[in-house]
Structure 1
Amino acid sequence: MKYILISISALLLFTACSGKKYFEPEDVSNNIVLSKESLSSSITSINKIGATLEDKRFLTKNGISDVELPEGFDFLNLTEDGKVIATNYLDKILVGNVEKPMKDVVVAASLKDGKLALVYSNNTIELQDMATSKTLYKEYLPLSLANDTRITNPYFMGNLVLFPTLNGKVIIVSSINYESIKNIAVDPDNEFNNIISLNVIESSQTLIVASPNKIVSISPKEIISKDYEVRDVIVNKEDIYVATIDGQIKKLTPNLNEVASKKYKYAKIHALAFTDSLYAVESQGFLINIKEDFTTSVIYDFSFDNEERMIAIGNRIYFDSQYITLP
């Protein structure tokens, strides 16, 4: 009986494994130069715009930092003049060379004109005077027990501060009179619903916000939302690119009209990046390059360990202790 049970277990395991489906493109090109370069150490943590390395250097839109963070701190953001904002996920944040004590754990932060916008792990938001630590605005929001790791920093837009919360909302606060102007529910109903992307299309003053389950366009005229199971979303000029869990890559207008779409069967997209065209990193070791008008795409070999931490920043894709620069 023991051997029968072992055989049945082995058969069930084989059946489960053989039932998995993977992206297997028929036509793969080698006509691209993807020279891998080494980082000083491996990536230990990431957010939407940057990453921290094991040796405490950090990655941003400016590339690899020349300086190191203090032990125990992780990168959160950059100030307008290029100073780093970091947190120790305990009782302090770092702004440039200044360590500021905090009463709660900071998970996102931005600084402009001496005003520090903070999101805490207990889903409290606060606008603080950087010099005096005086609270200018504070709101306690419901606890969020399950969060996507791609937590987004607050955003200063003119005289407004946009706070992306951990429970699927954007709270808009005046930086003049420190009052709440608008409370926008992006994705209040799902379990994982923190804001993972927040971009502004300047030409139309349209705010593009995403949670893991929804994309919302907020303009002076209207608020439009569409349901997507989001793997990644990026904005380039007036174009929005979305990769979904089921292997689709879509191009949207600022009002979320679908301009074009491509589906890659069983593909699992890790990250999107845009240079002169769109790139998507696929988990089985492929790099998909889609022409800007979505008429054609080319798939290249790109070997990496899909268990490694990965982030696309600008024209670079960082993974574990290496990176490539996209053409």
Structure 2
Amino acid sequence: MKKLNLILLGSLVFIGCSSKNFEPKTFINKKLPQKERNSYLQDYTKNTLTFKELKLKYTTTSFFDDGIRGEWVYFDEEGNKLEKFVKVNKDLAKRGDKLLLIKEKKVVKMPYLIASATKKNNLIALVFENNSIGIYDLNKDKIVFYKQYPNVLAAKYLKSSPLFYDNLILFPLLNSKVAIYDLTNNKFLRDIDLADDNIINNIIFMKIVDNSLFISTPSRLILFNPNFLVNYNADIKHIIDYNGYLYLFLINGKIVKLDTKLKKIKEIKLPFADFFAPSVCNGNIYTIANKYLIKITPDLNVTVYGGNDFDLDSPLNIKNCKIYNSNKVYFIE
């Protein structure tokens, strides 16, 4: 009985801790200018926004039918119509197994549901939801390379996209691996396995910063260099690269500044902060935690602003000094 009571007490303590929210000791009341729009933020990636707006159209089916119908229309930040597609990057939008080439206004059907994609010239590098990869050649109108990997049940956080790197394509898989394809010799080279202690996660960050390749899962950031390889282990939720530094937003409320050798420059902690969509605006990084707007300077000095009613149950993204949240736009500066 005593053992059971201890277990119950431990469970209550865990529940109590896990339900705590970020509450700053001090904050500045700053109500951001905002604007309500007819469009709603439907979806987003790290670099793109997809909006939807209800449009009326008229199609009569009988004498008694007034013909009024409501239809959601999708479009991007620039106003480009996306039909029912969600924007992946500046070139592409996806919907199930279909890929929209935005500038060309051309739809290409793929064999499987699309997780992420990147276009360069006539080639489209794809990662599919079944954890397979492929290369589609627009000149030949067909897939010229395909490789299947073991399926995975789920993927955490935002997926990274394939990367064209010199004469290589790097495919960020959904099971902690990166597949490498050689474009010069048109052949698959190898896999890089980033799994840590048998924990399988997808790749959340893959980018060239200061001529070095960085790849990260939610538990591990790796610097690949011709002369050395460096690991940085942490529970990572977001990574921002800015002015030659990497800023890691961790699950435990920490923000860590690293140089491009993954040497820690500084670290701060905001207890219980669950960071939303960090983004750079006018030389500072902004993020949201528990309805507070947080401004972070490059030296990790923090200012917290209150007074804004962000809806954290709806899609929320920060881009170009604007916070998009449901049908509202907040202007940071």
Hey, what does 2:302 align to over in structure 1? 297
Give the secondary-structure state (helix, strand or coil) at the position aligned to 2:265: strand
C-alpha contact 1:107 1:121 (8 A) present in aligned 2 = yes
Deviation at 1:58, TM superposition (A): 4.2
Equivalent positions of 1:22-171 (< 5 A) are: 22-30=21-29, 34-55=32-53, 56-59=73-76, 64-71=77-84, 73-79=85-91, 85-89=92-96, 91-96=97-102, 97-171=105-179
Residue 236 of structure 2 corresponds to residue 238 of structure 1 = no
Deviations 1:130-162 (A, max 9, x none): 121233322211111111241121111222211
The TM-score, its normalising length taken from structure 1, stands at: 0.83
Tell me by how many angstroms 1:289 deviates: 1.4
For the residues of structure 1 that align with 2:117 and 2:322, how far apart are their CA atoms? Answer: 24
Deviation of 1:182 after TM superposition, in Å, equals 4.1
**What is the aligned residue count?**
300
RMSD: 2.5
Contact 2:157-2:237 within 8 A present in 1 as well: no
Q: Deviations over 1:263-314 (max 9, x none)?
A: 01121111211231222211x21122122222x3211114312212122334
Q: What is the identity percentage for the equivalent residue pairs of Structure 1 and Structure 2?
A: 25
8 Å CA contact 2:74–2:83 kept in 1: the answer is no
Report if aligned partners of 1:233, 1:241 keep a CA contact under 8 Å in 2: yes
Aligned counterparts of 2:144 and 2:280: Cα–Cα separation in 1:
38
Structure with the larger strand share: 2
Name the counterpart of 2:69: none
Corresponding residue for 2:62?
none
Separation in 2, partners of 1:318, 1:292: 23
**1:168 Cα deviation after fit:** 1.0
Shift of 1:108: 0.8
Query: 5+ unaligned residues in a row in structure 2: which ranges?
Result: 1-10, 54-72
Are 2:330 and 1:317 equivalent residues in the alignment?
no
Return the alpha-carbon distance in structure 2 between the equivalents of residues 39 and 274 of structure 1. Answer: 24
Gap regions ≥5 residues in structure 1: 1-11, 80-84
Equivalent pair of 1:146/1:191 in contact (CA under 8 Å): no
Distance change in 2, residues 1:40/1:224 (3 Å):
farther
**2:221 aligns to what?**
215
Cα distance in 2 for partners of 1:109, 1:160 equals 15
Q: Call closer, same or farther: CA 1:175–1:58 in 2, change over 3 Å.
A: farther
Between structure 1 and structure 2, the one with the greater Rg is 2
The aligned residue for residue 288 of structure 2 is 281
